[in-house]
Structure 1
Amino acid sequence: MTDNRKIAQEIIEAVGGKDNIMSVAHCATRLRIMVKDKEKIDQPKVEDVDKVKGAFFNSGQYQVILGTGTVNRIYEEVEKLGVESSTKAEQAQEAKKSGNAFQRAIRTFGDVFVPIIPALVATGLFMGLRGLVMQEQILALFGLTPADISENFILFTQVLTDTAFIFLPALVAWSTFRVFGGTPTIGLVLGLMLVSPALPNAWGVAGGDVELLKFFGFIPVIGYQGSVLPAFIAGVVGAKLEQQIRKRVPEALDLIVTPFLTLLLMITLALFAIGPIFHIVEEAILNGTVAVLKWPFGISGLVIGFLNQMIVVTGVHHVFNLLEIQLLEKYGYNPYNAIITCSVAAQGGAALAVGLKTKSAKLKALALPSSFSALLGITEPAIFGVNLRYMKPFIMGLIGGGAGGFFASIFGLKATGMAITVIPGTLLYLNGQILLYLLVNVIAIATAFILTWLFGYSDKMREEINQ
């Protein structure tokens, strides 16, 4: 029997056996198990299984952290042992039935925005690389100046960096229709209508070069390039409207009538009601976020850096995707990223201290890889497998995050993108900020490491917890 087969068997037994498992799926790092009775789960037994870096309940699923690559192999063995598998989407539909209204709303919000993030990550990297290439010092290495750069090259870089944000409403409406049960392509077309060239360009209006349209003398109508909230609300309403129309239209006419009525009614509603109202709401949210990020003396970085990983533990951190997208669209930079990067790095620093200080071979084998995982931007193994288990390392990690966030705010660090942090996140600071970015990460890691080493962990704590 292979080690992975043995691990799969032990996990199945620890969660109550095959009879207690409804289905199993997996993501990049975790085995996601839907169970019938969570009281049958033997938590210590699960955590004692080899290669398991932690386990917890979230979003109606029992999630076992195994790490990138390992989870795929264990999942294959679980399937071979006859446990029913399901896709993440199927499990998400089942999980939506669990949790309170707020948890379900945040989960749905994440389902909408998470699929869009890869495109925005790529765009952020393109922005960072353009910033690097356009620096005078870099150009000087090739005997060039900014004046030597051709307009065609500039145009090429604009295609790379601007496209995702110009058509952002189309991406948001497509994903929202998909999540709320509509036809994704209808959502895509609705989103494209919101940025139609026939409408006054939003950026042109903001710059004073283009006049917005006034319908009926008082309703402002513009394009919604880079806008998020109007497209999201239009997507929710549109998906529900499509479902209602489809119920009432004869099957023979469904292909023609349903998309026609859905798009006609929704673009009317989106341009004349949803768009103007929620654009104001979106601006208010953005202005509020910017006001917090501008709190003086580094207070904003201290508070956000300290609290961020607490929010991650609750599972509602996806709501901040909206804020980061808005910051990038409006200003072309993202000061939030550097602060949360420090909070991520600090949890890695705390786990590293535990791994180096403990004499337990098993805890060492868990904590050291978990700390490296955090340096790649994935904190779940460090948080749930190590730091939260002993609590004090988690708190020291929060303090380290606050310290790093404080200096990130003081230095005014601004990322060119979102969604990647710590080591991968260096690509977002190639516009002359890389040394300061590395410095704030070192501050966060060192603070959490030193505090954990001195006050946050001892093997006596491990023995007391394992009794």
Structure 2
Amino acid sequence: MSTNRSIAEEILVAIGGQENVESVAHCATRLRFMVKDINQVDQAKVENVEKVKGAFYNAGQFQVILGTGTVNRIYEEIVQLGLNDSSSSDMKHAAVQKSSRFQQAIRTFGDVFVPIIPVLVATGLFMGLRGLLLQEEVLAWFGVTPDSVPQNFLLFTQVLTDTAFIFLPALIAWSTFRVFGGTPIIGMVLGLMLVSPSLPNAYAVASGDAEAIMLFDWIPVVGYQGSVLPAFIAGILGAKLERRIRTRVPETLDLIITPFMTLLIMIVVSLLVVGPIFHSVEQVILDAATTVLSWPFGISGLIIGGLNQLIVITGVHHVFNMLEIQLLAEYKSNPYNAIVTCSVAAQGGAALAVGLKTKSKKLKALALPSSFSAFLGITEPAIFGVNLRYGKPFVMGLIGGAAGGFLASLFGLKATGMAVTVIPGTLLYLNGQVLLYLLVNIVAIAVAFVLTWMFGYSDQMKKELETETKMSA
């Protein structure tokens, strides 16, 4: 068995040696190399190194998948070999310089919304637990009926489940200011202004219990509780405005003038221009997404479940974070999650079939843990380490995802949150949907597993692929 030091050395040799590496960093599961010449990288050789679960090149980075825990130890060995280490932020900046404008836009989208996701995950779990506790059968265990639940308890659960969405614009504006170089606390205050209790509440206006303030008799002014796009656009404009003001204000007055002018100008622009325009755009996007997700006969689940992991490979899946946030803020439910979960589970089912069918100890040691990782919601090891490498298992996983997504759409499954899938995702369906949730995931896994076992993989395919790789090297 190779040591971590020898594994680090093998990886470096396979990517063209230290002279081909500008810097290295790591995330939770992957080493990220900034390489000078991608043509010097022998990807097949990298993937054959012990403990490596896969490798791919994206947005200026050659990324080697090692898995949680392992990546930290291999990274330490690589740094000790004399390679320049780099912070994640520095490497991200360097990667942006090498990526296309489209990739940069998607990366920026992810940088803004990903830090917000943990609190929305927690909120979704709170919603799921509240749904479980308020079920009549569960309440009966405590000798309580739905009509006799203490109001204080309901109030407490509302604090847990509603706060993040009520103040969502503050979270988004804070994160957007942070990404675009503004002062995050100014962004947060701007976001809080958008949901000020002095403004007509957005939910009350939508339900007809309140009326928007009409400026100049035609500009509606309301609060933006639960809105995404107005805060996002306001955050971009506000961060750029703050930076411009700061360059023109004397240092001695910067502390007073810059935040004052930024907030004054941006709240006027946000309430009178950005808010009305982009809230309407947001509503159009939401209505379109809702229409697609409500297509009859499970069509939406079939399409989304079948194509989702293809989108994951391209790295543009962060765009859908905004959609899920909008769905949860508007409807307190997320039908997209159940469909996507099936696509994740199916890739795990395909990798499981490969792991159980192969006689190769190395591939078995790679495929089985990768499948379990997918069942926990992380598909990278399964996709890049196993399924894509042999091609057909990935396709069978797409078919399994389509089958599970079809049923999820047909059953009308709706999560109470986002970002967690498969086994951890069960917590989002405790409001009476958990059995159907398990069923659609089992179907997705079973279809992918059976198809992969029968048509998607054999050790003969593995030998042929290795032979072709050696001949082309």
- TM-score of the aligned structures, taking structure 1 as reference length: 0.98
Q: Secondary structure of 1:317's partner?
A: coil
| 3-state DSSP of counterpart to 1:416 | coil
Secondary structure of 2:112's aligned partner: helix
**Runs of 5+ in structure 2 lacking a partner?**
468-473
**Structure-1 separation of matches of 2:142 and 2:252:** 65
**Matching of residues 286-435 of structure 1 within 5 Å:** 286-435=286-435
Q: CA contact under 8 A between 1:98 and 1:104: conserved in structure 2?
A: no
Aligned AA for 1:441?
N
- Within 1, Cα distance between the matches of 2:343 and 2:225? 32
Mapping of 1:208-247 within 5 angstroms?
A: 208-247=208-247
Partner of 1:118: 118
Any conservation in 1 of the 2:2–2:50 contact (CA below 8 Å)?
no
Identity among equivalent pairs (%): 73
Q: How does 1:141-290 map to 2 (within 5 A)?
A: 141-290=141-290
**Residues 285-294 or 181-190, more deviating:** 181-190
Q: RMSD in angstroms over aligned alpha carbons?
A: 1.1
Q: CA deviation at 1:2?
A: 7.7
Deviations 1:375-423, CA, capped at 9 Å, x for gaps:
0000010101111111111000000000000000111101000000000
Q: Distance in 1 between matches of 2:213 and 2:287?
A: 24
Amino acid at match of 1:125: L
CA distance in 1, matches of 2:154, 2:71: 43
> What residue number does 1:17 align with?
17
Count how many residue pairs are aligned between Structure 1 and Structure 2.
467
Aligned-residue offset at 1:359: 1.1
> Counterpart of 2:83?
83
Measure the CA separation in 1 of the matches of 2:116 and 2:303.
Answer: 28
Residue 30 of structure 1 pairs with residue 30 of structure 2: yes
More deviation, 73-82/279-288: 73-82
How far apart, CA to CA, are the structure 1 residues paired with 2:11 and 2:296? 50
The answer to whether the 8 Å contact 1:59/1:107 transfers is no
**Which one-letter code corresponds to 2:294 in the other structure?**
K
Rounded Cα–Cα distance in structure 1 between residues aligned with 2:197 and 2:57: 47
Cα distance, 1:7 vs structure 2? 1.5
**Equivalents in 1 of 2:174, 2:300: separation in Å?**
34
TM-score, normalising length: structure 2: 0.97
Distance 2:202 2:78 in 1: 51
Q: CA–CA distance in 2 between the matches of 1:32 and 1:291? A: 39
- Report which stretch shifted further, 88-97 or 396-405: 88-97
CA distance in 1, matches of 2:78, 2:196: 49
Using the TM superposition, give the Cα deviation of residue 372 of structure 1 relative to its aligned residue in structure 2, in angstroms: 0.5
The separation in 2 between residues aligned to 1:93 and 1:221, in whole angstroms, is 38
Q: Aligned partners of 2:248 and 2:357: how far apart in 1?
A: 67
Question: What per-residue deviation string (whole Å, max 9, x for no partner) do you get for residues 5-41 of structure 1?
Answer: 2212222222122222222221111111111221121
Question: Following the alignment from structure 1 to structure 2, what is the Cα–Cα distance between the partners of residues 265 and 340?
Answer: 41
Gaps of 5+ in 1: none
SS in 2 for 1:96: helix
SS at match of 1:286: helix
Distance, in Å, in 2 between the alignment partners of 1:330 and 1:308 is 23
CA–CA distance in structure 2, aligned partners of residues 163 and 79 of structure 1: 43
Assess if the C-alpha contact under 8 Å between 2:234 and 2:274 holds in 1: yes
Contact 1:344 1:422 in 2 (8 A): yes
Greater mean deviation of Cα atoms: 357-366 or 89-98: 89-98
Looking at structure 2, the residues matched to 422 and 236 of structure 1 have their Cα atoms a distance apart, in angstroms, of 35
1:258 is paired with a residue whose SS is helix
